[in-house]
Structure 1
Amino acid sequence: MQVVKVFNNNVVLGVDDRGVERVLLGRGLGFQMSPGTEVDPARIERVFVPSGATSAERIAAFVDEIPMADIELTEKVVAMARERLGPHVTEHVLVPLADHLSFALRRAAGGTTEIEYPLRWEVQYLYPGEVAVARAALDLVEQERGVRLPDIEAVPIALHLVNAQFGASDLGQMVQMTALLHQILAVIREEYGTEIDEDSVEVARFVTHLRYLFLRERQGKKLSETPAELHAALRNARPREYTSAGRVGELLHDEFGWTITIDEVLYLALHVSRLVDVASPTPVTGPGREVEP
């Protein structure tokens, strides 16, 4: 491993034999080092791999400010999340999540225990798997540090874990996506006058499909083409649901500028049909009507 750039006495940018750049952390690692010199592997304590979403400079700035104990704690959280959620939770989430946890711990030490995050309720039912892991992370923080962070901190931690699937540069896009998912479900509720069970398998499948649609669009991928007869059959059998799927496509186009293909509309229509089939009518109030409690 050779030095490419020295950020400070403890952090350098190195490159391996395959030309892959890595941010290296170690006590005194950058002292009297210069570009082109070899790095002693025994002195490297941590290795961070830059990605398109997080530059080497940004990683170096974070690492320089985050206490090593907070990085080690976050490594345990990431390992647990990967075990429970899958291999998409890579080391790329380590630095932004460590930055968040470190800041949350500083807030708690300063006596600030309550903070509000947008889309609190939406995150809890749109991403139940990530929220469950985030709550376990709060337990781990308490176990390791003796500090109980507020339960609301499960929201941003869960968003970081969702973000691990998409590789966005910050949580802003995840907040935008979450708000839009909530809006899409609201459109279906209003259009069909139904109550959607947020804990149902159908909602979970629909949200999962939408999440992968987001991922495909970010990666520039499209679904494989489906036979025209299948489109015609569904459009004839469930015209209303097919139209609703088209409205969802329009929302995605208006929000992100994406062109949603007819194949995506087909699968959206199938999911809308399943939601409608299991949903219950919304109670109606008015003269002579009583609503069940």
Structure 2
Amino acid sequence: MLIEKVLNNNVVITRNENGQEVVIMGRGLGFRMTAGKPVDQRKIEKIFTIDNNNEVDNRYRELVEAIPHEILLVTEQIIASAGRLLEGQLHPGIRVSLADHIHCAIERCIQGKCVKNAMLWEIKKFYGSEFSVGADAIVKIKQASGIQLNEDEAGFIALHLVNAQLNDDMHNTMDVTRLIHDIVSLIKYDLRIEMDENTVSYQRLMTHLRFFAHRLIHSDTVKSDDDSLFVSVRQEYPESFACVGKIYLYVEKQLSHYMTKEEMMFLTIHVERVRREHQIG
């Protein structure tokens, strides 16, 4: 492969055998190199194919010119780890948003301007798996850059991962997190229970609430023409259904959204599982 453009000492642009534009990273890969010279295969650490008609790819191409290559590489390591440990697919845009965030976080830390994460408690509670990846990311970032970011940044990284899972922006994800917090608080207060975060029923409730809250924020609903199961659930789980009735009123007041019978039914089932597990425990 021949170099088409040197972006910096560690990143060059070339083309693959199919004629597609390719970004190649590696320490010293672009040092004293010019267009037309062959790529030093021994120095290659990461290769990315760029689609110029893809907005995310174009943003990433701009990013590689502005961000140190070790930050781009550690971002890839974090994304790979998240892909192995988290459920579902991560939106490709995470490569851009997370690298940009980590770069800015490091710059702020160097300047002594660390940002407090006001939602750290909620993130730990409701996005435990994502926070674990975020905490591990802080270790990886220290190894790559020598900069020690704090626990607040682990929480911000976790939110970026949640964004990528939901394919949403940070503002909406924070709204989703607040909504989950309020619903969980209502469940605990109404049923007078404490939830064991290590149980399967709790994890299933959190997963359900995450996507339920996401739909609410986007005014999306789940509907069904079959009322028979709804009636059965209402009769079989009266305490949990009554609790969900209070959630219905809260959602109506806060978001002007009227929960469908389908939404109430599924939430009742999840609440009932948590309630029963508390009784057994």
Superposition TM-score, scaled by structure 2 size = 0.73
The AA in structure 1 aligned to 2:76 is E
Show the counterpart of 2:82.
81
Answer yes or no: is the 8 Å Cα contact 1:235–1:242 preserved in 2.
Answer: yes
Measured after TM superposition, the shift of residue 191 of structure 1 is 1.4
Aligned equivalents of 2:219 and 2:49: distance in 1?
A: 26
In structure 2, stretches of 5+ residues that fail to align are 1-6, 25-29, 31-40
Show the counterpart of 2:33.
none
The AA in structure 1 aligned to 2:211 is Y
The AA in structure 1 aligned to 2:167 is G
Aligned equivalents of 1:275 and 1:231: distance in 2?
A: 19
The total of aligned residue pairs comes to: 253
Answer yes or no: is the 8 Å Cα contact 2:176–2:214 preserved in 1.
Answer: no
Paired residues for 1:124-273 under 5 Å: 124-168=124-168, 170-214=169-213, 222=222, 225=224, 227-256=226-255, 258-273=257-272
Show the counterpart of 2:119.
119
Aligned equivalents of 2:50 and 2:158: distance in 1?
A: 21
The AA in structure 2 aligned to 1:74 is T
Superposition TM-score, scaled by structure 1 size = 0.70
Show the counterpart of 2:96.
95
CA change 1:97–1:45 in 2 (3 A) is same
Measured after TM superposition, the shift of residue 151 of structure 1 is 2.1
Q: What's the CA shift string for 1:163-200, capped at 9, x where partnerless?
A: 111111x3111111011101001111221222223333
2:93 is paired with a residue whose SS is helix
The AA in structure 2 aligned to 1:207 is M
In structure 1, stretches of 5+ residues that fail to align are 1-7, 28-41, 281-293
Aligned equivalents of 1:250 and 1:57: distance in 2?
A: 45
Answer yes or no: is the 8 Å Cα contact 1:124–1:155 preserved in 2.
Answer: yes
Moved more, 150-159 or 255-264: 255-264
Show the counterpart of 2:3.
none
Aligned equivalents of 2:51 and 2:88: distance in 1?
A: 16
1:91 is paired with a residue whose SS is coil
Aligned equivalents of 1:59 and 1:219: distance in 2?
A: 31
1:195 is paired with a residue whose SS is coil
CA change 1:253–1:93 in 2 (3 A) is farther
Answer yes or no: is the 8 Å Cα contact 2:75–2:95 preserved in 1.
Answer: yes
CA change 1:173–1:235 in 2 (3 A) is same
Show the counterpart of 1:278.
277
